[in-house]
Amino acid sequence: SQQGEEDPQALSIQEGENATMNCSYKTSINNLQWYRQNSGRGLVHLILIRSNEREKHSGRLRVTLDTSKKSSSLLITASRAADTASYFCATGEIQGAQKLVFGQGTRLTINP
Amino acid sequence: KAGVTQTPRYLIKTRGQQVTLSCSPISGHRSVSWYQQTPGQGLQFLFEYFSETQRNKGNFPGRFSGRQFSNSRSEMNVSTLELGDSALYLCASKMAPSTEAFFGQGTRLTVV
């Protein structure tokens, strides 16, 4: 079963705009990771944020984590056509840190 | 540094057969996990191995099994294949439990 929900399920924006995706989860976590997947291929690791961190940046990516609300957001700034993909959040649970529990993902489409 | 390598990339099997998938982790990574991805269930954890020992197992029937060798390479086996086993099988490697998990390109299994 999935850990939580990702919102929205699909997002379509114009190139150059910012894209924001949200993720909610249910249990206490050790960390939260975001991944990108292109057309049913492998998952590309984007960023990891630990439970004691509130915000993290990597290039055009900004991730926030609110453990009190059990939610995270991924912001992609100045989007490009190559950012078109599905984006997943995955939580590493405290009790089961060895496995990742994934959301259903957000399908992002960047229109040129 | 080479990434996670999964072989084969594509497989077509008939119901009742068995299949073995292979995963070579990133050099130095001792943890290997397997995930199944389907359109209906999303990404689901199968099992995780560390130093040749299975440490964690997901909610899958006993037809799904795996093992890890002394060089950290892992294999996953599915016996008595069913149509519902058609999926993308992803392998991920980690250096330690609470660190980033890096995924391979996956093996696309089709059961006919």
> Residues 6 or more apart from B74 whose CB is under 8 A from it?
B22, B23, B25, B32, B34, B49, B66, B67, B68, B91
Residue B10 near residue B100, CB atoms below 8 Å: no
CA B106/CA B84 separation, integer angstroms: 17
Instruction: Please indicate if any CB of chain A lies within 8 Å of the CB of B5.
Output: no
Pairing mode of beta strands A19-24, B64-68: unpaired
The residue written with tokens 């209906």 in the block is B40
pLDDT over 60 (residue A2)? no
> Residues 6 or more apart from A68 whose CB is under 8 A from it?
none
Q: What residues of chain A have any CB closer than 8 angstroms to a CB in chain B? A: 2, 30-31, 33, 35, 40-45, 48, 50, 88, 90, 92, 96-105
Between B100 and A69, the more confident residue is: A69
CB spacing of A45 vs B101 below 8 angstroms: yes
Tell me: the pLDDT tens digits for A45-77? 999 999 999 999 999 999 999 999 999 999 999
Residue B92 near residue B33, CB atoms below 8 Å: yes
Contacts of B24 in chain A (CB under 8 A): none
Query: How high is the pLDDT of residue A30?
Result: 86
pLDDT over 70 (residue A1)? no
Instruction: Please indicate if any CB of chain A lies within 8 Å of the CB of B60.
Output: no
CA B58/CA B45 separation, integer angstroms: 5
Tell me: the pLDDT tens digits for B43-88? 999 999 999 999 889 999 999 999 999 999 999 999 999 999 999 9
Contacts of A97 in chain B (CB under 8 A): 97-98
Q: Is B84 helix (H, G, I), strand (E, B) or coil?
A: helix
> How far apart are the CA of B81 and the nearest CA of chain A, in angstroms?
21
In total, the C-beta contacts within 8 angstroms joining chain A to chain B are 63
Residue A95 near residue A101, CB atoms below 8 Å: no
> How far apart are the CA of A18 and the nearest CA of chain B, in angstroms?
25
Residue A73 near residue A53, CB atoms below 8 Å: no
> How far apart are the CA of B36 and the nearest CA of chain A, in angstroms?
11
Q: What is the torsional sign of CA B52, A93, B105, B15?
A: positive
Ordered alpha helix ranges (H), chain A: none
